[in-house]
Amino acid sequence: MTGELSPIDKAKFVAAKRAAGLVEDGMRVGLGTGSTAAWLVRCLGEMVREEGLKFTAVPTSTRTAELAREVGIPVTSLDEAKWLDLTIDGADEFDRDLNLIKGGGGALLQEKIVATASDQMVVIADAGKEVENLGAFPLPVEVIPFGWQTSQALIEETLVSMDVLGRSASLRMNGDRAFMTDEGNHILDLHLHRIGNARQLALVINQIPGVVENGLFIDICDTVIIGYGDGNVEVRDINEGTVEREKLDFVETDNLFSDLSD
């Protein structure tokens, strides 16, 4: 299987495979949303079936919950679990301080709630997600549908005083309709190009009426596992200040992800 994957998909796979090894029996684990997180769910499902791994998952979206159940992972709610040992999720961008932009998959609200209700957050990503400054990827902001155009205007007005290069916001679409989150909200994508002060921007945006949450994850991620197309992985722990490198072998006959299309 892996021999047919693109280098980016190989990178996602090895990052997910390395992160799956962090999950231990009895853990309560948050499962992220997106293409890299989907590889993780498949890896964990294989460990449940073939190795007898026993843990409980709290998914961050409806589609992650559906995939987890499909591969045999027991699923519960955050209210039931109350607190998590670990959350593993992807990211659209991360910087040297492990600050993130998330929400490209539209699940930023649940992802942020689950991540902050965990002892540890681990991000899995291919090397292309690392940036010098956040902002090249559009920053998602979840807003309630009522008055969303007013919220958009207020956000764009606020951006004038922020340390960013771009100041436009667009409504995310799903075909010819506005994209809807699991909570029934809309997403505005902010085209900022570069964010000079992510912490300030996150705080200011969340004060705007109609804004539910933004996709800046500041001081939430503890570890990033970076995958490379040649099978190498790099594990950076910001709390310990450590960097570890290793290589994972591909299993060429494995068809675990043959039906995965994300």
* Distance of alpha carbon 178 from alpha carbon 213, whole angstroms: 18
Nearest to 154 by CA among 204, 91, 208: 208
Element (H, E) at 199: helix 198-205
Q: In what order do the strands lie in the sheet with 121-126?
A: 56-59, 28-31, 86-89, 121-126, 223-227, 232-237, 242-247
Region 38-45 average pLDDT: 98
User: Which residue positions form the known binding site?
Assistant: 33-36, 89-92, 102-105, 129
Would you tell me the crossing angle of helices 62-70 and 35-51 to the nearest 10 degrees? 30
Give me the residue label for tokens 């993780």: 40
> 119-130: per-residue pLDDT in tens?
999 999 999 999
Mean pLDDT along residues 151-169: 98
Q: Average pLDDT, stretch 9-30?
A: 97
Alpha helices in 71-197 (DSSP H): 78-81, 108-116, 148-159
Closest CA to 49 of 85, 18, 74, 76: 74
Positive/negative CA dihedral, 175, 39, 222, 57: positive
Query: Average pLDDT in the 182-202 region?
Result: 98
Question: Which residues are documented as binding site for substrate?
Answer: 33-36, 89-92, 102-105, 129
Instruction: Check: CB of residue 225 under 8 Å from CB of residue 12.
Output: no
Q: Which domains does the chain have, with CATH numbers?
A: 2-129+219-247 (3.40.50.1360), 139-214 (3.30.70.260)
User: At which residue do the structure tokens 């090249």 appear?
Assistant: 136
Catalytic residues: 111
- The predicted-structure confidence for 91-107, as pLDDT tens digits, reads as follows 999 999 999 999 999 99
Flag whether pLDDT at 226 surpasses 70.
yes
Mean pLDDT, the chain, whole residue set: 94
Q: For residue 249, name the pLDDT band (cuts at 50, 70, 90).
A: confident
Residue with tokens 């073939």: 50
What's the number of CA atoms in the CB half-sphere (13 Å) around residue 91? 35
